[in-house]
Structure formats: C-alpha cells, structure tokens
Amino acid sequence: MERNKWETALRCLEIAVHSNTSDEEVIAAVNGFRRTADGMPLGELCREFAGVPVAAPAAGPDKFDRLSRDNIELRQRIEILEAAQAAAAERADVAESRARETAEQLHAAEARAVIAEQQLAEFQAMYGRISGGLHDENLGLRRALDDARRRPAQPPTQAAAAPFRHMLSAARQRHDPAAPAVSSATVRPWTA
C-alpha cells in the first residue's frame, strides 16, 4: 500500500475517534477507512506506515484493550453529557413556559389595575360633585334656619273652611244648574 493511501486511511480513523465527530460522521469515516485500507488489518497498516517490518510483533493486546476501554468510557461520558444537556433544555423550556404565563398574568393584572384606577377617578369625581352639592344644600338649610330663628314665631294661619252648605250648594248646581244657590244670609243655623 502506498504511503498516501496509508495517510488517508489513518486520517479517516482519526476523524472517527475525534470527540467532536457525530455518529454519522464516525460511520462515514470508518467506511472511508475500509475502502482505503482495502481489507488490510489496522495493525499491519500502522506497522507499514511507521516503517516497521511486517514480521515484527504487533503492538501488545493490552494497549488495544486499554484503548477500547477508554473508547467505551468516552462514549458513556458523551451519553451522560447528552442526557444532562437534554434535561437542561427541558428545564429551560419549562422555565420559559412559566415566564410566559407569568408575563400574561402580569399583563392582565396591569389591565385590571388601569380599569380600577379609572373607576376610582370616576368615583372621586362623583363624590366631589355629590359632596359639593350637599355642602351647598347644607349652607342653604343653615341660612333658612338662621332666618327662621331671627323671625318671631307666628302661628300658622289657615284659610277658613267653607261651610258645608256652600259645598253642597256648589255640588247641586253642578248637577242641576237650575237649582237655587244657597246664600249664607238666607240660611239659618239648624237648632234642635
């Protein structure tokens, strides 16, 4: 295998194991390595790239096991971080929803406060008109009371009631216009 192909194959592997590589990119990089290496084992490719004869012993299996464990640990950390990130995003959504609800409630409360202020202003204006009218009326009543106190008390005068005979005579004439009117001079009081 040529050195240029080795570099391309190793570059594909480097991309596959990089921490910022997404799962789709990892799969694409591994497939790129397979096409470029054309079935050559990784150990053999690394030895040829490093210039070590093919017959030299392969790197210790302990190193590969350690790398495999490290890879598994890194993947577990990634899963934990992704779960934490998803939980944080969910908490942020809940907080945003609560903030939106609180803003709507605040807006409604502000609208109610504006209406209450308008009603208070109308009430104060009406109260001012009523109290001003009462004040004027109270002043008028006080003046009338003072005037009444200053004038001497006079007994109330009543109009003399018309005698019953006059009312009877008026009723008779309404009913029968030809009936004679009763005058107070011709009628003598009744005696028993």
Q: Let me know whether 73 and 137 are in one domain.
A: yes
Residues 86-124: b if buried by 16+ CB within 10 A, e if exposed: eeeeeeeeeeeeeeeeeeeeeeeeeeeeeeeeeeeeeee
Tell me the one-letter amino acid at 38: D
Q: What is the pLDDT along the chain (192 residues), one digit of tens a residue?
A: 476 777 888 888 888 888 888 888 888 888 888 888 887 887 777 777 677 665 544 556 788 888 889 999 999 999 999 999 999 999 999 999 999 999 999 999 999 999 999 999 999 988 888 888 888 888 888 888 888 888 876 665 655 666 777 777 888 888 777 766 655 555 566 665
Could you tell me which residues come within 8 angstroms of residue 6 by beta carbon, excluding any fewer than 6 positions away?
Answer: 45, 48, 49
pTM: 0.33
Indicate if 50 and 105 belong to the same structural domain.
no
Number of domains in the chain: 2
Has residue 25 been placed in a domain? yes
Q: Is residue 55 part of a domain?
A: yes
Both 40 and 97 in one domain: the answer is: no
| Residue 166 belongs to a domain | no
**Is residue 179 domain-resident?**
no
pLDDT for res 110: 95
| Domain contains 156 | no
Give the model's pLDDT for residue 11. 84
Print the domain residue range for 98.
Answer: 60-148
Q: Residue 185 falls within a domain, yes or no?
A: no
Q: Are residues 129 and 77 in the same domain?
A: yes
Residue 24 sits in the same domain as residue 90? no
Asked if residues 187 and 166 have their Cβ atoms less than 8 Å apart, the reply is no
Same domain, 13 and 43: yes
Q: Are residues 118 and 89 in the same domain?
A: yes
Asked if 76 and 94 sit in the same domain, the reply is yes
Burial, 33: exposed, middle or buried (Cβ in 10 Å; 0-12, 13-18, 19+)? buried
